[in-house]
Amino acid sequence: MSSTTITALTPAHAAGAVNVVVSNAEQQAGTLPDGYTYTSITGGLGLGVPSGGSSSATIVAGQTASYTLSIGGAGLSGTASLSCTGSPTGANCSIPASEPFSSTVPATFNLSVTTTSRTVVALSLPAFAPVAGLWIFGLLGMVVHPGRRIPTRSLRRYLPLTLLTLLLVLCSCGGGGNARSPQPNPNGTPVGTYTLNVKATLNATAQTTSLTLIVQ
């Protein structure tokens, strides 16, 4: 403090102009109306759903839900750490581990939630498989008989016939597996409405926004 300046520590106060009162040891005081203005320091991460976007998605179990979120433009800048919680059974929430943002212009990023079908379809072996196996052994037995020596010329003559017969058997029986009736999948995503919590953190500042996932 000097004859022309005074240094003081201002206490906490709501935003707005206040009077500055200075007093001395002789209890004399002087007032400067609206001599000091408090301002609120605002700044956030700006995490949320951008204009025109949706915070809700409806899907069938086994499908993937997609959301678009925005961050930034709220006074702070940097690189925020992101996390997603609240996914139901059989679902996985995919989100970038971090996202850079500015204090003036929001940036968008995508979030997806993959779910698991509540039914599975298994394939059974074709009915002709055992029969084809018997044909193979039978044809080989015709060509190569235990204890009998067959000249090489005979083998060359019977081998194409054996292969051709086997091919005809397979073609006549058809190929592929038979689909069984759908079976319940215990790891499928249950029907319900779920709340996903997306959290952005930058140093000591954190913000959370909620999304709705409807699984049918």
Both tokens of 157, joined, read 């003559």
59-108 confidence digits (pLDDT tens)? 999 999 999 999 999 999 999 999 999 999 999 999 999 999 999 999 99
Which tops the pLDDT comparison, 109 or 17?
109
One-character DSSP codes across 73-94: -SB--EEEEEEEE---TT-EEE
Q: Is 103 left (phi over 0), alpha (psi -120 to 50) or beta?
A: alpha
Both tokens of 192, joined, read 């319900």
Give me the residue label for tokens 């190929």: 175
Both tokens of 111, joined, read 């979030």
pLDDT band at residue 188 under the 50/70/90 scheme: very high
| pTM of the entire predicted model | 0.58
What is the sign of the dihedral through the CA atoms of 14, 15, 21 and 24?
positive
Distance CA 124, CA 133 (A): 17
Residue 189: strand, helix, or coil: coil
What is the residue extent of each domain of the chain? 123-179
HEC profile of 191-212: CEEEEEEEEEEECCEEEEEEEE
Which tops the pLDDT comparison, 12 or 36?
36
Both tokens of 62, joined, read 């086994």
The per-residue pLDDT for 110 is: 97
